[in-house]
Amino acid sequence: MAEHLDPLSLPAEADSPPDGASARIQAARRARRRSRSRQAVAARRGSASTWLDTLGRVWIGLVLLALLAGVTWIEISLAQQRAEQAAQLAEEQAAAESARVEAATFAAAREAAWEAARSRGPEVSIGLIEANGPILGCTSPSQLGELQARLGVALVGECVEQPWTDDATGATRQRTTKGELVWQGSDDRVAFTDGVHSWIAGPDGMVRRGNDERFAWERDADDGPRPARATHVPPPTLPGAILPARRIVSYYGNPLASGMGVLGEMPPEQLFPRLKAQANEYRVADATRAVTPALELVAVVAQAQPGLDGLYRLRMDPELIERVAGWAEQQGFLLILDVQIGRGRVDDEVQWLLPFLKRPNVHLALDPEFAMPANHVPGQRIGTMDAAPINGAQRVLADLVEAHGLPPKLLVVHRFTEEMVTSPQRITMDPRVQVVMVMDGFGSPPLKSRQYNELIAEPRVQYTGFKLFYRHDEPLMTPAQVLLLDPAPDLVIYQ
């Protein structure tokens, strides 16, 4: 009989799969683990790729925005530049047109002013007419008439009687609507008084003092105390005159030589803002007076060698003068043409410059330092110039003003020693030309101030000027210090 086998009685090993199946199961498990690991890595890689892709897109976007901003900024800048250029062009055209209109109206304005002075007749009251009788037809002797012309009808008035002789003093007297004219024949002095002050043609020009005061050179010098300071009186101004309404601040030199002054030390784009800023300092220091910038170009330069003509001077090329004249016109500056004649003649150099001097904003300067007598060379000694050639230049300028209907011209004369200008009291006055004597030396403020008082203020000709040296004055005087000079300069030059 066959033995019956109870399955429950089999050993436990009978439940386990055979060895081959177990290996397959373990391999499957390992495969599943590797698959899950690969999926996790793939997921992480996918996440990183997505992040990098997003970052790249953001970066590209930022670059595009930056490019767009740059293009926009360039377009805005170009638009602003075009607008500024258009505005500057319009301003220059307006300034040029204004200058042409102003020049065209100067002659008419001056003639109208003279005609009004001639036609308005005496400014008299009924009481004055009753006190003096008829006033029509009165005339003035030449001495009194010249004084009236120098002081101006606005100050002196019109005559109200014929001149008469004072038996007690021997003086010729004539009453006017504003005071009295007096000519003392014994010392050939003429004066005008308004009852409080007297205006006298003195040895150093026209001066004013109180009626109870006397100058040391007057015939009756012992009859009163000395004036504290002589008040010099400029002639009446014509329409368009620069002085005394405006103060001038100028830069001096030559673009071809940096050693001659600030005008040659920097390019125009740096020079013009600096000059405007310097002029503005004087406007701030003295708000009562407008300021006009100027360029003083040395157009005729003294030389250490005689040159082909033996005159020890070199005339600048007209193209250079034209270039600087263009700068001045574009910027609204004055242009002063400076002349160092060497052994030449003032008249010859002024005639050579006439084409430029015919322009309303162009003026003349003479530098006696380089005016040499025979057998002397510029730079080896200080030159000298008499009043006669200065008066000759003044006549040429006055004729130019008259012939072309120009505003009054400036005639600048440089000086830093007494001998540089001889007989300054003989420099004539003409309302068509405004003479400015400039203290031209460098040094310390006390030295410069003393020279100004002795050479410019005391023997005052008409208007006054003062030069400062950026490189040589120690220390450089400030605008406030310059304006403390008495009188305050009408022209301030920087070299």
At residue 119, does pLDDT exceed 50?
Answer: no
- Name the helix (H) or strand (E) containing 270: helix 268-285
Q: How confident is the model at residue 10 (pLDDT cuts 50, 70, 90)?
A: very low
**What are the structure tokens assigned to 226, written together?**
């000395």
Task: Return the closest-CA partner of residue 292 out of 334, 353, 345.
Answer: 334
Strand partners, 208: 199, 231
At 71 the three-state DSSP class reads helix
Q: Are 448 and 477 in contact (CB under 8 A)?
A: yes
Torsions phi, psi of 429, nearest 5? Answer: -110, 135
At residue 117, does pLDDT exceed 80?
Answer: no
Strand order in the sheet with 172-175: 164-165, 172-175, 180-184, 189-193, 197-202, 205-210, 231-232
Angle between helices 346-357 and 318-331 (to 10 degrees): 50
Find out if CATH 3.40.50 is the number for domain 246-494: no
C-alpha to C-alpha distances, 239 to 105, 106, 114, 151, 248, nearest whole angstrom: 10, 7, 10, 16, 18
Q: What do you get for the CA distance between the two ends of the chain, in Å?
A: 147
- The answer to which of 148-157, 300-309, 349-358 has the lowest mean pLDDT is 148-157
At residue 115, does pLDDT exceed 60?
Answer: no
Other CB atoms within a 10 A radius of the CB of residue 415 amount to 25
At residue 113, does pLDDT exceed 70?
Answer: no
Domain boundaries, the chain: 126-232, 246-494
**Residue position matching structure tokens 């050179």:** 217
Dihedral sign, Cα of residue 125, residue 131, residue 133, residue 136: negative
Q: Are 398 and 430 in contact (CB under 8 A)?
A: yes
Q: What is the pLDDT of residues 375-390, one digit of tens each?
A: 899 989 999 999 999 9
**What are the structure tokens assigned to 31, written together?**
């495969």
Dihedral sign, Cα of residue 126, residue 197, residue 202, residue 492: negative
Strand partners, 207: 200, 232
User: To 5 degrees, how large is the angle CA 148–CA 398–CA 234?
Assistant: 40
Q: What is the pLDDT of residues 326-378, one digit of tens each?
A: 999 999 999 999 999 999 999 999 999 999 999 999 999 999 999 999 889 99
User: To 5 degrees, how large is the angle CA 183–CA 188–CA 193?
Assistant: 35
Residue type, 101: V
At residue 135, does pLDDT exceed 50?
Answer: no
Task: Return the closest-CA partner of residue 424 out of 394, 388, 465.
Answer: 388
Q: Are 366 and 349 in contact (CB under 8 A)?
A: no
pTM for this model (two decimals): 0.63
**What are the structure tokens assigned to 359, written together?**
């322009």
Other CB atoms within a 10 A radius of the CB of residue 379 amount to 14
Residue type, 114: W
